[in-house]
Structure 1
């Protein structure tokens, strides 16, 4: 039976009334004035459980809601209500075992922001308003001129929200909470950064300041294939198919030089041809299939930290300040589009999940192609007229030759 008890008082016998019935009076218990006064008690899976309150009405309201939830099947066990976010984290984390190392590293970094504030908090006590108020207070490792930590960037904040939302979604699945209090729409929107597309002249200038041919080779590969830097460093000799003019994107290389899965977890072939294909064939000749295809001058494979040292000096020498290696991927997409590639081809080359994603990112580059369309149409129509006239002239000559014969 569900009932609210007063822990500060109790009824004790106080003699008999005129009819011989036992009378009772209310006296203070040893708990008088200590702790919460009102105790809600109810049955849960065949055992008695309880929760204390300061105010009687709060205890009655809680008990009434508990009875209703038990009746309609939405009840969450008292033991589950006390489970903390840190206790749910390992369950959620176990579901990410098949993800790439770089993605899991990002989740771990986000959890390091979440755990100090919410780790010991019961999932049932986390509210949407509290999370929204907390987000702007998170700081990163960078500092301003005064040495004060700067707020966490929008991209990192979204990753924090993704992890927090994911862990609480697991709590819902495990019947620890009824619904997820964290809403992804409360996460700050990541602003779209201006994409930088290098001209061919700028690519040549950047290539020219590289300290050795091996670094130039990296530039050529990134610009002509559109692969991510880690994917390029993950090419192995066996990934090159010279006959088809393809290179297989099968892995990524992490900061320590270890092989990891690709960002999307999927593999793809990218086209290679011309001088790049010849250079790749020469680089692969006589080597084992499992060796890194792109190498440093000392024979070691590339990693992002090793590349970054060369890159930072090169972009400064080339007068291309603040250029990120990833922007060579944008440049590759631009070159492919202006060379006549359709959206599906660019999608396959870049490894996007859908053509819609490719259009969302690079659709404006196809819009620029509209400027050239009228001239191309005019040239096409002129060529067709010339072809038609040549066909007529040829037919006339053939008819004349027939009559002469």
Structure 2
């Protein structure tokens, strides 16, 4: 075959069907670059595959945009799918060519009903993890395998910092993608949600541990600290005594003994305190994400709660009201707690303040939220049942209360151990048996 005939034949395979062409993966031996449609063998049957090119809606900045798909065995198959896209109309074409990046941004813009903190978390997961990993993939071509590969990559290589992601962060990223793809299914972009078939390591929720003497010694020697830790009764008392003269002592008293969240404590108003009945109503909280401040309802339905206060706390609140009467009008809707200048007290400010006070006190370090953990443990140690502690903390599930927020304090554990051995020894005495492995303790000794 003459070279001119070969060129004409190759051109026929490029131009014979508008927008449909054949190409292969061969590379030029001299340059190493792909030859594509210029390969001498492209016209040969079985060599390469067929593609189609389709002009679609330009990018928002006006740049030309094309959809190109390949891997078809015949020109007719490529042309058939191209015609199907062309027959769907502008909306159908836009949906068919929508990338994960475009859909995530479109979905995010529709979430006007969400709280700012939730929206901020979604946006962070999308910008930091999902778009860099999956943004260029067409929504209709997104599969469980692709998502699973993303999860594996994040576990191995991590995100922006390069450190492997913790299971909790992975679950949040996966939950964000799952929610976005649920909306894509409702829109008709996907027949089913592939994220439902992806395995994400669950990890374990860290349990709060108590700052016992051995743990304190290890912390002082190594600097290592548990991810979640609570103070003992004596340590909590020591902290409250240390900050007794601080203007916000009353606020920290409420968090340490009644388990208020920091935003709930900052959102308290005088109308939330019933001095006659000794009740505190949690109905507002201050939320903060970045520099944005939001005043709204508590975290969940169960967080809207009424807490019974003891006489000492009522007296403390009365004294605080008298001391701040010239700054905060008790009859107004103003917040009970403010900054020294009278400004709004933000959750972030409270976190920084507590960290500084904790360091100054010389006590082992805990987070401000751990003070809430400790309130649940102290309430349990005082003899209250889990249901009471659940109601005080505002949990929707008693399992959450038992599994995460309630630590066993040393003195409570000792009493439990003593009660157990007493019960065993009493049983042995009643049966006249000697306890194996307990030297010198028999039924008569018990």
**Residue 116 of structure 1 corresponds to which residue in structure 2?**
132
**Residue 113 of structure 2 corresponds to which residue in structure 1?**
98
CA contact (8 A) 1:52 1:59 kept: no
Find the aligned partners of 2:197 and 2:395 in 1 and give their Cα distance: 23
**Residue 251 of structure 1 corresponds to which residue in structure 2?**
284
Counterpart among 144, 147, 159 of residue 131 in structure 1: 147
CA contact (8 A) 1:233 1:292 kept: yes
Which ranges of 4 or more aligned residues in structure 1 deviate by more than 6 Å?
61-64, 374-377
**Residue 53 of structure 1 corresponds to which residue in structure 2?**
70
Q: What whole-Å deviation, never above 9, does each CA across 1:58-101 have from its counterpart, x for those lacking one?
A: 9869989xx9xxxxxxxxx6653322223333564366433332
Find the aligned partners of 2:233 and 2:401 in 1 and give their Cα distance: 22
1:221 CA displacement: 0.9
CA contact (8 A) 1:102 1:263 kept: no
> Higher strand share goes to which structure?
1
Q: Give the SS at the match of 2:15.
A: coil
Q: What whole-Å deviation, never above 9, does each CA across 1:131-171 have from its counterpart, x for those lacking one?
A: 33332333255xxxxxxx43344332221111111111111
1:226 CA displacement: 0.6
CA contact (8 A) 1:161 1:184 kept: no
Q: What whole-Å deviation, never above 9, does each CA across 1:187-220 have from its counterpart, x for those lacking one?
A: 2324322312311211122224438422322221
Counterpart among 230, 238, 247 of residue 197 in structure 1: 230
Whether 2:333 is the aligned partner of 1:290: answer yes
**Residue 388 of structure 2 corresponds to which residue in structure 1?**
345
TM-score, normalising length from structure 2? Answer: 0.63
> 1:363–1:311: structure 2 CA closer, same or farther, 3 Å change rule?
closer
Counterpart among 268, 288, 308 of residue 271 in structure 1: 308
Q: Give the SS at the match of 2:392.
A: helix
> 1:294–1:310: structure 2 CA closer, same or farther, 3 Å change rule?
same
Q: What whole-Å deviation, never above 9, does each CA across 1:332-378 have from its counterpart, x for those lacking one?
A: 1011112222222111111111223323335774995754666999x
> 1:80–1:9: structure 2 CA closer, same or farther, 3 Å change rule?
farther
**Residue 269 of structure 2 corresponds to which residue in structure 1?**
236
**Residue 261 of structure 1 corresponds to which residue in structure 2?**
297
Q: Give the SS at the match of 2:194.
A: coil
**Residue 175 of structure 2 corresponds to which residue in structure 1?**
162
Q: What whole-Å deviation, never above 9, does each CA across 1:26-79 have from its counterpart, x for those lacking one?
A: x76635656663669xxxxxxxxx985343179869989xx9xxxxxxxxx665
TM-score, normalising length from structure 1? Answer: 0.68
> 1:280–1:28: structure 2 CA closer, same or farther, 3 Å change rule?
closer
CA contact (8 A) 1:37 1:54 kept: yes
Rg larger in structure: 1
Find the aligned partners of 2:416 and 2:80 in 1 and give their Cα distance: 68
> 1:375–1:309: structure 2 CA closer, same or farther, 3 Å change rule?
same
> 1:52–1:120: structure 2 CA closer, same or farther, 3 Å change rule?
closer
CA contact (8 A) 1:165 1:184 kept: no
CA contact (8 A) 1:103 1:263 kept: no
CA contact (8 A) 2:95 2:189 kept: yes
Find the aligned partners of 1:9 and 1:169 in 2 and give their Cα distance: 48
Structure 1 vs Structure 2 CA RMSD: 4.0
Find the aligned partners of 1:211 and 1:298 in 2 and give their Cα distance: 20
> 1:313–1:103: structure 2 CA closer, same or farther, 3 Å change rule?
same
**Residue 199 of structure 2 corresponds to which residue in structure 1?**
186
Find the aligned partners of 2:387 and 2:76 in 1 and give their Cα distance: 62
Find the aligned partners of 1:220 and 1:274 in 2 and give their Cα distance: 13
> 1:252–1:165: structure 2 CA closer, same or farther, 3 Å change rule?
same
